[in-house]
Amino acid sequence: MRALTRSSPWSRAEHKANYNSVMARGWESKSVEAQQAEATDKSTNPRKRLTPEQAAVSREKESLRLARQRVLEQLKQIQDPRHRAQLENALAELNGKLSLLGN
């Protein structure tokens, strides 16, 4: 890289281009490092293979848990007694389904 001088307009542009390419490589290497760490974590914790039925039950449980969480969040904010009653009924139904699936 050339030394920066006030008389040459090219040197400033060259310096800026070189600076940006160095920064881009720095960010890229951190991204690669994170990806390698993630790949290592995945290889050390292999997931147990599920049958299609087990996978379906697992998805259903997760869906019910998320719906339950959403209802609980709504219950914290709701003021209308009729709407609160509906949400409490929905929560009871979700809890019942979860208990049938083995929570």
Which position has the higher pLDDT, 59 or 34? 59
Query: With 80 as the cut, is the pLDDT of residue 79 above it?
Result: yes
19-28, 36-45, 57-66, 69-78: least confidently modelled range:
19-28
Do the beta carbons of residue 88 and residue 75 sit within 8 Å? yes
Q: What is the mean pLDDT of the chain?
A: 79
Look at residue 34 and tell me whether its pLDDT is greater than 70. yes
Alpha helix positions (H), 1-103: 9-44, 52-77, 81-101
Residue closest to 57 by CA, chosen among 101, 90, 24, 15: 101
Domain count, the chain: 2
Same domain, 18 and 61: no
pLDDT at 62 over 90: yes
Range of the domain at 15: 11-40
Residue 3 confidence (pLDDT): 56
Is residue 4 a part of any domain in this protein?
no
- pLDDT at 13 (0 to 100): 62
